[in-house]
Amino acid sequence: MLMILFRQKYPRWWFDWNLELQRFSNRVAAYLALMDDRYPSTTDHQSVHLDYAYPDAARDLNRWLPLVKWFLAIPHHIVLFFLSIAAVIAAIVAWFAILFTRRYPGAPSTSSKASSGGKTESSRTPSPSRPTRTHHSDSHRKTPTS
């Protein structure tokens, strides 16, 4: 910010470093929010892509705009603080839901018949990972003899 403010220069190495840092931060955020199963790499771009053009500091950037933007960003950061708390709570709830149900939620289907290939819920065969429950209490009952 000070380089732009006083010298109206934005070094290319600084821009590239900031871009790579933001790319990696977005990969880590996507991994922690359970949007990507691959561990974030520091070299590969993976499934999260971020790219923007290098600006000409003298022509494209206003000298005082970074300072003004920092002051205007204060209320924005306050709101983001509370939203990030809500996002962390939602991610923790999702982690425990996946842990206890042993299922990763898929995309919601538009129709139950379309997703089951024309079968209804009652005609589906149970999956091997979730065995059906059998009630053995009826087999232990004694039938009255007459």
Nearest in space to 45 (alpha carbons), one of 73, 81, 19, 65? 19
Q: pLDDT digit string (tens) for 85-111?
A: 999 999 899 888 888 888 877 656 555
Pick 117 or 33 by higher pLDDT. 33
pLDDT tens-digit series, residues 10-33:
788 888 898 989 999 988 988 888
Give the span between the Cα atoms of 61 and 123, in whole angstroms: 64
Q: Return d(Cα 97, Cα 92) in angstroms, integer.
A: 9
> pLDDT at residue 66 above 80?
no
Split at pLDDT 50, 70, 90, the class of 74 is: very high
Gap between the Cα atoms of 89 and 117, Å rounded: 36
Of residues 6 and 38, which shows the higher confidence score?
A: 38
Q: What is the pLDDT of residue 69?
A: 80
Average pLDDT over the chain, rounded to whole? 74
